[in-house]
Amino acid sequence: MKKLLLHLLFALYIPASADAQTVPVADGPFLDSLRAKYPSCFVQVGSGWELDTNCPEVVTEDSLIVIGDGTGLVYDITPLPYFVNLKFLHLEYIGVSWMGLSSTPGSLEKFIYRNIDGTIQDTMRFNRGLRYLDASFNPTIGGINHWPDSLRHLFCQESGLGRLPALPAFLETLNCASQRGVGSAGNILTSLPALPSTLISLTCSHNALSSLPLLPDGLKVLDCMVQERNVNSQDRELTLSALPDLPSSLERLNAGGNKITTLPSLPASLKHLRITQTRFFEDDLVVGGSTNVVHEGISVLPSLPPSLEILECGWNNLTSLPPLPASLTYLDASENVRVHGQGSQTPGIVTAGITSLGSPLHDGMEYLNVSLTPITCLPRIPATMQVVVTTGSAISCLPNSSNYNAVPPLPLCSPTNNVNQCESSPVISGELFYDINSNGIQDANENPRANVEVQLASGLSAYSNTN
């Protein structure tokens, strides 16, 4: 009986051994990484190592992260196809050899491939199930000539792509910013393919686009700032002069740093508008150029949407602002009209530009910058305000105090310093405290309170400003 049992166990053992399959793995840092993580999946054969392709730890692995030290060591990643259930792969700061690989693993859903030294071969394909690809910061990425139809999110900024292949039909996110050539070549991406109807976010800043394609109806984010190309190793020229019609769904728009002179109608859904610096002098673009204006910039803003929260419109050619919506929390209208040789914080009162905000500052406003404008007076500053910047403007005093930081510090307007005859709130002195025992007298343990709203008999309100 014991002999029969021994023969049976031996018979069962032989097929299991026969099923094991091993493949040699090239010596190098990728082998070292795999051996450290899956030591039981490798067998030594002579002086080399082989991977057991049926090893449970390999065939069931769904996530693999390999981040190098940036020294450029080349990782031979040919064992990847044996990770048959891999869903997430992150390779970064390494050199990669794709030789011998025709595709990424078929199960892969998310692939991060950043800061890589090495090119992707023209014959290599991304697997059809891939939904998220981040191939950013790869200046020598090479010949990508397709994207899988399954892709939903694509990030390829700073990867030296002079052309984007046709985009997947259901893409939702595209970031293709800063496609630069070698040396002095500068920006090399001059056009975009047709945008899919499903696109929600488009970032194409710091390229050399002369126009944008038709924007899809569902787009929520558009960043197309600074479109320019190198004329030579020192000089540049701007390329984008107009925006297409904006979709009704748009929530964020950044189009600053271009030679735009007008904006299309702004959709009611817009929350963030950044249109900083469209006014340029020749020496902004050409080394040794003159001080002549070569791009006048935006001189009029369209009506602002009722939901707008952030408006950055400095360094333009504006002389007035449209009515400010009550939803606004951040306003930078500095240096309008932009004056040659002045930065946004350079002192020196200017004589052209926005002379008045033209609207009250609503409760909820937190940041205001009117530096280097000829504005002389501010409306009442709400209690929610955190920062007020008036450097280089014509403002000499502030209408009311609150818990905000004034840059530079200015006094409250009074009959003796209000040279511009600005409206100002009356200053009431006294102590505001919490009357703990309700005796109507401030006792020693009843401290003053700051930032408390006080309703006046006239119906106006003010806030206590010190403890």
Both tokens of 423, joined, read: 């409206």
Full residue range of the structural domain in which residue 325 is found: 261-426
Which of these, 218, 193, 192, 195, lies nearest to 204 by C-alpha position?
192
- 448 in the same domain as 422: no
- The answer to whether residue 461 is domain-embedded is yes
- 380 in the same domain as 409: yes
- 433 in the same domain as 320: no
Domain count of the fold of the chain: 2
- The answer to whether residue 92 is domain-embedded is no
- The answer to whether residue 95 is domain-embedded is no
User: Residue 163 and residue 144: Cα distance in Å, rounded?
Assistant: 9
Q: What is the pLDDT of residues 33-81, one digit of tens each?
A: 999 999 999 999 999 999 999 999 999 999 999 999 888 788 889 999 9
- 356 in the same domain as 287: yes
- 396 in the same domain as 446: no
Question: What are the respective helix, strand and coil percentages of the chain, to the nearest 5?
Answer: 10, 20, 70
Both tokens of 361, joined, read: 């500052």
- The answer to whether residue 215 is domain-embedded is no
- 444 in the same domain as 457: yes
Give this prediction's pTM.
Answer: 0.85
User: Residue 271 and residue 307: Cα distance in Å, rounded?
Assistant: 6
- The answer to whether residue 462 is domain-embedded is yes
- 326 in the same domain as 417: yes
- pLDDT tens for the chain, 467 residues long, are 444 433 433 333 333 334 569 999 999 999 999 999 999 999 999 999 999 999 999 999 999 999 998 887 888 899 999 999 999 999 999 988 877 788 899 999 999 999 988 777 666 789 999 999 999 998 767 667 889 999 999 999 998 888 999 999 999 999 999 998 755 567 789 999 999 999 999 999 999 999 999 999 999 999 999 999 988 888 999 999 999 999 999 999 999 999 999 999 999 999 999 999 999 999 889 999 899 999 999 999 999 999 999 999 999 999 999 999 999 999 999 999 877 776 555 555 566 789 999 899 999 999 999 999 999 999 999 999 999 999 999 999 999 988 899 999 999 998 888 888 888 766 666 777 777 777 777 777 767 877 676 666 655 555 565 55
- The answer to whether residue 145 is domain-embedded is no
- Residues 450, 464: contact at Cβ < 8 Å? yes
- 335 in the same domain as 277: yes
Which of these, 362, 364, 280, 355, lies nearest to 321 by C-alpha position?
355
- The answer to whether residue 436 is domain-embedded is yes
- 375 in the same domain as 267: yes
pLDDT of residue 416: 85
- The answer to whether residue 58 is domain-embedded is no
- 394 in the same domain as 462: no
- 462 in the same domain as 342: no
Share of the chain above pLDDT 90, in %: 65
Q: What is the pLDDT of residues 197-253, one digit of tens each?
A: 999 999 999 999 999 999 999 999 999 999 999 888 889 999 999 999 999 999 999
366 burial level (CB within 10 Å; 0-12, 13-18, 19+): middle
- 398 in the same domain as 328: yes
